[in-house]
Amino acid sequence: MSFSTVSFDGDDLDTTVHLVAFAGDVATGCVTLLRHPAQQSIQLRGMAVKSDYQGLGIGARLLGEAQEIAKAHQKNLWCNARQSAVSFYEKNGWTAYGPFFEIPIIGQHVAMQWKIPDREP
Ligand SMILES: CC(C)(COP(=O)(O)OP(=O)(O)OC[C@H]1O[C@@H](n2cnc3c(N)ncnc32)[C@H](O)[C@@H]1OP(=O)(O)O)[C@@H](O)C(=O)NCCC(=O)NCCS
């Protein structure tokens, strides 16, 4: 895919965080966290692990880091998850909400969220 198809509004904001996983010099996975000023939750998007590195725990580790950042900001996370990735998010403590909807070219998606654990009283 061309570079323009993977760059989005908000990527360059000072409040946006891009996490990248490396194996040596190889970038193996990535995810972006977008903090819309008006929103109570942080949007997670662009979650991907290089095909020959999938199934090794890299995605779970990236999600774990994203969840740590969310905890530090005391905000929940949300994303539009591909249907094929819903179980991946569920295994990592996320829940789906709302109906499935179509994103052209990519396919069926559903909104999912991860809530920061309740703080000790
Ligand atoms: C979905 C994706 C990010 C997962 O990353 P990954 O590094 O392969 O996942 P992990 O190895 O960390 O897997 C963590 C757990 O989720 C499971 N899992 C991973 N991908 C899964 C999938 N697509 N469906 C169901 N379970 C999945 C793993 O089996 C593992 O379970 P376990 O802890 O019981 O062993 C990666 O497969 C990917 O990039 N897919 C294509 C792009 C995509 O769908 N991105 C998400 C867009 S919303």
Predicted structure pTM score: 0.92
42-49/26-34 β-pairing: antiparallel
Tell me what pLDDT residue 37 has: 75
Give the DSSP H/E element, type plus range, for residue 77: strand 77-82
Residue-wise pLDDT tens for the chain (121 aa)? 788 888 888 999 999 999 999 999 999 999 999 998 778 899 999 999 999 999 999 999 999 999 999 999 999 999 999 999 999 999 999 999 999 999 988 899 999 999 998 755 5
Task: Please count the CA atoms within 13 angstroms of the CA of 34 that sit on its side-chain side.
Answer: 19
* Tokens representing residue 112 in the block: 């999912």
Check: CB of residue 113 under 8 Å from CB of residue 77: yes
All domains in the chain, ordered by first residue: 3-114 (3.40.630.30)
Residue 8 in tokens = 């989005």
Q: Report the residue among 49, 88, 101 best suited for mutation to probe ligand 1: largest number of ligand atoms under 8 A from its CB.
A: 88
- As a whole number of Å, the CA-based R_g of the chain is 14
Angstrom distance (rounded) from CA 63 to CA 46? 12
Please give all residues whose beta carbon lies within 6 A of any atom in ligand 1, as ranges.
47-49, 54-60, 81-82, 84-85, 87-88, 91
Q: What pLDDT does 120 receive? A: 54
Phi, psi of 30 (to 5 degrees): -155, 160
Rounded to 5°, the CA angle 46-41-99 comes to 70
**pLDDT, position 40:** 87
pLDDT, residue 38, reads 79
What b/e sequence results for 32-49 when a residue is b if at least 16 CB atoms lie within 10 Å of its CB, and e otherwise? bbbbeeeeebbbbebbeb
- The per-residue pLDDT for 94 is 97
